[in-house]
Structure 1
Amino acid sequence: MGELTRSIADFLCSMPDRPLPDGAAEVVGIGFCDAIGVMIAGCGEPVHIAALTAMRARQSRPESRIALGPERCIAPDAAMVGAVAAHALDYDDYAYSNHVSAILVPAILAEAEHLGADGDAMLRAYVAGYEVWRTLMKREPDDFYERGWHPTAVLGGFGVVAAMSVLHRLTRDQIVNALGLAVAHGGGVMGNFGSMAKPFQGGHAAQGGMSSVRLALAGMDAGPDALDGANGFLRALSPHQRIDTATPADMLGHDWGIIDERLNIKRYPTVGSSQRSADCATRLHHDHAPDIDAIERVCAHISEKHIRVMPIHAPRTALEAKFSLEFVVAAGLISGEVGFDQLTDAYVQRPDVQRLIARVEPVVGPDDDPEFLAGARADIIHLHMRDGSVLSSPEVTRWRGHARNPMTTGELKAKFMDCSARRIGETEASALFDRLQNIRGLRTVADLPVIAPA
């Protein structure tokens, strides 16, 4: 067994009784609110319906509610469908380039309901999942996207294993086996971006992590070096074989990423790398009200790593548009917003939107953000008008909702209401948000209402 695997197992064994840092409960509450809000909004999306249909086709024990709704099934399947719904709109939070809450929250809700775990256990499970997942991501000095990997899909299962280890109070040997078994579930590539398979990759990570723990509890073992060995998973993923698999993760439980990095809450239901550009475009619309027909070309400055996860340059569907810099910029300039009304096939295919998409030119620069490995020092958009004039957006680095520029509670609630009230009603949505603010105070998941979207 490698030192990395050993140190992770030691940390997880201590988590049920380890003091948590001040502020952790606040971040977890934000993560639960955001994930459940976007999960409600994602219910009814084609990918959610497909996942639900596939789950219904197989018999399973009614252990847990599906996306907190009235239907029940075995917990790993409930986690899969819930995570698919939470990630369906790509509106969910992220940290360290991974969609943390959309994967952890549905899994924690499903297994906590099955086990009868209380809010404190759920809080600890989330923190454990966040920290272990972050540790594995931070071990890689290069960019997983460079090799086409989808980090949420290939690493998220290990975060879920960590969370489930706390809920089940697994032994050290069981944790090591569960981590090794999660390797067998790992997978997911950027080639699925812009399709329903992208959110399913997240759902599969949640389901795979939970299944790995259940297999370990049933006595199945795994190679002790499957995660961090010379022929292990992390080295197989690493773009240039520079990942640190040798040193122990001794910072776990001391250097709390959940306090230092927190969560980035999206303002727009598009890929995280587009959030700055969306801000630039919408601010140009509101500050200058440019004549769209008078725009000759649009120069959108963006970093190399951010453009890499927006590979779709001529989108025709809403799913494709979420991963298109050109669409995000065009929608922001035309409508002054990039929201649910713009993320429809009909809007994407509008002639004026398609014409402006064709005029957007990405200007790719270095990843020179002073704080983060991915991102430019700032993003900016310049409109070159047919009369020779140039209109420029403000430079944007930390949009409202970024962990370094967090939303207020009122802004978080406004997003939650926009996601959920149209489906479950204003009164029910407001009460649910207020309840989710204090996860630690829940006696069981049964304290949360049954959500039956209209």
Structure 2
Amino acid sequence: MGGHVVQPSSSAAPKGRDDTHGFTWPLAQFAHQIRWGDLPSAVQHEAVRAFVNWVGCVYGGASHPATRSAMSALGELSATGKSTALGHARKMDPLDATLVNGLAASANAYDDTHLSTIAHPTAPTAAALLAHAELHRVSGPDFLLALIISNEIQSRLSCALTVPPASCQLGFYMTGLTGAPGVAAGVGRSMGLSQQQLVWAIGIGATQGAGFRATHGTMCGGFVPANAGRSGLLAARFAAANFTCHEDALGGPNGFLQVFGQPPNPAALTDRLGERYECMNVAAKPYPAGCLVHPLIEACLQLVESEAFSSDDVARIELEVSKLGLGLTGKREPQHAYDAQVSIFHWAAAVIHSRRAALEEASDTCVLNPAVIELRKRVVATVADDLQADSARVAIVLRDGRRLKAEVGPCLGSAARPMTDEQVEAKFLAQTEPVLGAERAYQLVRHCWDLPSADDVGRAAPGFWG
């Protein structure tokens, strides 16, 4: 996410609002009229990076228990189809393939994040777009343009609900609310829907919005974004058949913004729409954990990499994090891997004990490791009002009296410090090699980087999608 990184939308008057049609129409107009060549080169490249990261995460989560359970449950319901569940020698119907691939991408909490709203836009988007692209020929540029359209609308909708002066109930799982309307717009564009049909598609997607954070720590944590992709694909298909919806399902009375915002900031939807890209604030995760855990993981890594000590030497671990960070990731006694994804206490202990932050540190084995459990008891966490969500401080007090300190902000994987292309590729290979082998994994990542030159995305990587 190099240049074109922007701050969340302000409360300035929205550009391009049509007072007759409200706020849904301008988003549909954007989705209908924008062209691949209109996008700044940095935005184009970020679409490729997002796809590379997504494919790696799907393969990384293909054998996750949640993914296997979902495929088992869908067995009789998806007996035939033409769409691929990545990492499995099985074809499914497009809606179910979207659900499974979206779930796999999200299962390890390793996908991407719009940090200011805690939304995860690419997991549902790419899953739906790939399912569609396996049925209908879609070029690489058209696929990537649809990805940007979806992620941009999701990001702006999320800002309209959460970024001041907007506010909403903290318990909403943002991807569950904003994923489906964004995906509907992206898939709808790929399908060649009219602007009127895109209005309906966005509305049909919005009316399926659902998800709350109590699902975190369970298989449903990945189901929410997965279902958002499925709902968005369904919305686009319904709109293509002229299934109608309210002309301003987003901004009208009792519409999306009014129902979920407390209050909303609808100006965030259209402020310089098509000129600045809020989706450039979406970043790939460097660690398999909730994004609010990342700054303390990085601080702990700095300490274990620069100082010589063992976990037995540690008397106490002191964490300072943002208010939001402690509020959403303060699970003190995680019981399993799902809990660990949103536990700063676990990750501090796991990183200091294992001296790394990989998928193994997010596993049940690590969570239940007696040494990690014992170290977790020595972790204390407090809120520091001066810290942003992408910042943290860590102090390790050793038994010999030494005090080791590190401070991180902004952390790797934030909009201000995105992962490099090399880091994104290394993450991809680490997840795909166990499934495909080193040679095929390398060939697949080359196909993904070359997506802008693909004539037919559904057949761009023969032998890999299937």
CA RMSD of superposed structures (Å): 2.2
* Structure 1 partner of 2:46: 27
**What's the counterpart of residue 207 of structure 1?**
230
Quick one: distance in 2 between partners of 1:248 and 1:331?
40
The residue identity in structure 1 corresponding to 2:426 is: A
The SS at the match of 2:172 is coil
Q: Aligned AA for 1:275?
A: H
Shift, 1:101, TM fit: 1.8
Q: Which amino acid aligns with 1:325?
A: I
1:42-57 to structure 2, matched below 5 A, reads 42-57=61-76
* Counterpart residue number, 1:273: 292
1:163-178 alignment, distance < 5 Å: 163-178=186-201
Q: Say which of 74, 81, 85 aligns to 1:66.
A: 85
Q: Which residue of 2 aligns with 1:92?
A: 111
Distance 2:88 2:374 in 1: 42
Please give the secondary structure, in 1, of the residue aligned with 2:114.
Answer: coil
Moved over 4 A (4+): 142-146
CA distance in 1, matches of 2:49, 2:287: 17
How much identity, in percent, do the aligned residues show? Answer: 25
Partner residue, 1:119: 140
Equivalent residue for 1:301?
A: 320
Q: Give the 3 Å change call, closer, same or farther, for CA 422–248 of structure 1 in structure 2.
A: closer
What is the aligned residue count? Answer: 442
Q: 2:150 maps to which residue?
A: 129
1:357 Cα deviation from its structure 2 partner: 1.2
Is 55-64 or 335-344 further displaced after alignment?
Answer: 55-64
Matched residue, 1:82:
101
Q: CA separation of 1:17/1:391 partners in 2, compared to 1, >3 Å: closer, same or farther?
A: closer
- Residue 446 of structure 2 aligns with an amino acid whose one-letter code is D
Q: 1:326 to 1:248 in 2, by over 3 A?
A: closer
Is contact 2:321-2:387 (8 Å) kept?
no
Q: How much does 1:43 deviate?
A: 0.5
CA–CA distance in structure 2, aligned partners of residues 18 and 248 of structure 1: 22
Secondary structure of residue in 2 paired with 1:200 = helix
TM-score (ref. length: structure 1):
0.91
5+ long unaligned stretches in structure 1 = 370-374
Given candidates 412, 418, 442, the residue that maps to 1:430 is 442
Report matched runs for 1:11-410 at 5 Å. 11-16=30-35, 19-59=38-78, 62-67=81-86, 69-96=88-115, 97-140=118-161, 141-142=163-164, 146-238=169-261, 241-245=262-266, 249-258=270-279, 260-261=280-281, 263-366=282-385, 368-369=387-388, 375=389, 378-393=391-406, 395-410=407-422
1:60 positional shift: 5.8
Q: Is the CA contact (8 Å cut-off) linking 2:177 and 2:209 kept in structure 1? A: yes
1:56-104 Cα offsets, whole Å, 9 max, x none, are: 2214652322227442222122111100001110111222432122221
The alignment's TM-score, normalised by the length of structure 2, stands at: 0.89
Instruction: Give 1:278 deviation, angstroms.
Output: 0.5
Deviates more, 1:26-35 or 1:51-60: 51-60
Q: In 1, distance between residues paired with 2:421 and 2:42?
A: 15
Between 150-159 and 241-250, the greater mean CA deviation after superposition: 241-250
| 1:388 Cα deviation from its structure 2 partner | 3.8
Match of 1:372 in 2: none
Read off the aligned partner of 1:243 and give its amino acid letter.
P
Aligned to 1:441: 453
Cα gap change, 1:265/1:446 in structure 2, threshold over 3 Å: closer, same or farther?
same
Tell me the alpha carbon deviations over residues 22-69 of structure 1, each in whole angstroms, 9 at most, x when there is no partner. 222211111111100010010111110111122222146523222274
User: SS at 1:3's partner residue?
Assistant: coil
Q: Distance in 2 between the 1:157 and 1:289 partners?
A: 48
1:247-302 per-residue CA deviation (whole Å, 9 max, x = no partner) reads 861522111234x53x4222211111111110111221222233423433221010
